[in-house]
Amino acid sequence: MIEIKDLTKKFQDFTAVDHLNLTIQTGEFFGLLGPNGAGKTTTISMMSTVLLPTSGQILIDGRPLTRSASEQKRKLSVITQEYSMRQDMTMDEVMEYQGRLYYMPRKLIRQKTEELLSFTGLLDFRKRTVRHLSGGMKRKLMICRALMIDPEILLLDEPTAGMDALSRRQMWNLLRKLNNHNMTIILTTHYMEEAQSLCDRVALMEKGRLDKVDTPANLISELGAYAVDETSSGQMLQSRYFHNRAEAIAWLAERGEDASFRSTTLEDVFVERMGHHLEKK
C-alpha cells in the first residue's frame, strides 16, 4: 500500500504539489490525471525519490520512502517521459547494463532478459540498437528495463504519449498483463480513454491540488451516464448529461435533428470538472 500524506513540493515561491493526500492499494491500477502543469510529474518524481518533498511524506507498506530507504525504493520502478538509454546499445546490452547496475548474477540477467523481451514481444529485435527502434519499442524496452529488478510498483509518466492507436493498445495490453500479475501500476496520462479503460481509480489534480479520487464508473455516473450532444449546423454547441436514460431520450426527441445520444465518458468528466476550474481563474 502507498500512502501519500500532505505531500507538498515548492519550487521557490511556486507550489507545484499542494498538500496531496492519497492512498493506493497493492495491486491497484491508478491514474493521475490533470491539465498541463497540474503537478502529476512532480508527484511521480517524488514517488521515485528523484525529487524530495518540501513537506509531507510517502509511506510504502507503512514505512517512509526516503532516498536512503533502499528496501522501500527497491519496490518501485519508474519510467519517465525521456528515453534515457544509450542510442548505440542493443536491447540485450541495455538489459545487461541494468542488471549489472543492481549486481545481478550474469545467469539471472540472461534469464530475465529472455523472459521480459519475450513477455513484451521484443525478443526478435534484441540485437537492434536503441537508435533503430520505433518509439513504441523504446517504451516497451524501458518497461523491460524497469522490470529487471522485479518491482512491486510501476510508476509510468505518460507511457503512451505520441504513440499510434495500435501501439497504444499493445501497451495497454502489456500494462494489463502486468497488473494481472498483481503489480501496482500508477500512471499519468492525458488520454482519458486510456485512463477509463485501464484504471481502477483515478485522481483528478488541478494546480497541485487533489480535486477528486474515484473509479471512472463512479465519476461518470455522478455526472450522468447518458449524454446528449447539441449541435447547430453541424457545429457542436454543448453536451448535456442525464442520470436517467428516458430523460435523455426525451431531450433528444425535443432537439430533433440537432442532437445526438451517446454514453458519457471520463473525458466528459474531465472537461466538466477542469473546465469549471479554469473559468474560475
Ligand X SMILES: Nc1ncnc2c1ncn2[C@@H]1O[C@H](COP(=O)(O)OP(=O)(O)OP(=O)(O)O)[C@@H](O)[C@H]1O
Interaction site with ligand X (CB under 6 A): 11, 14, 16, 34, 36-42
Q: How far is the CB of 22 from ligand X (least distance, A)?
A: 15
Q: How far is the CB of 16 from ligand X (least distance, A)?
A: 3
| Coil, helix or strand at residue 270 | helix
Q: How far is the CB of 193 from ligand X (least distance, A)?
A: 16
Query: Which lies closer to ligand X via its Cβ, residue 10 or residue 255?
Result: 10
* CB-CB contact of 199 with 31 (8 Å): yes
Q: Torsions phi, psi of 40, nearest 5? A: -65, -55
Query: Which lies closer to ligand X via its Cβ, residue 16 or residue 213?
Result: 16
Query: Which lies closer to ligand X via its Cβ, residue 47 or residue 148?
Result: 47
Give the H or E element holding residue 111: helix 106-119
* CB-CB contact of 19 with 8 (8 Å): yes
- Which residues lie closer than 8 Å to 79 by C-beta, 6 or more apart? 139, 142, 143, 146, 154, 155, 156, 157, 159
Residue 87 and residue 252: Cα distance in Å, rounded? 55
Query: Which lies closer to ligand X via its Cβ, residue 142 or residue 187?
Result: 187
Q: How far is the CB of 148 from ligand X (least distance, A)?
A: 26
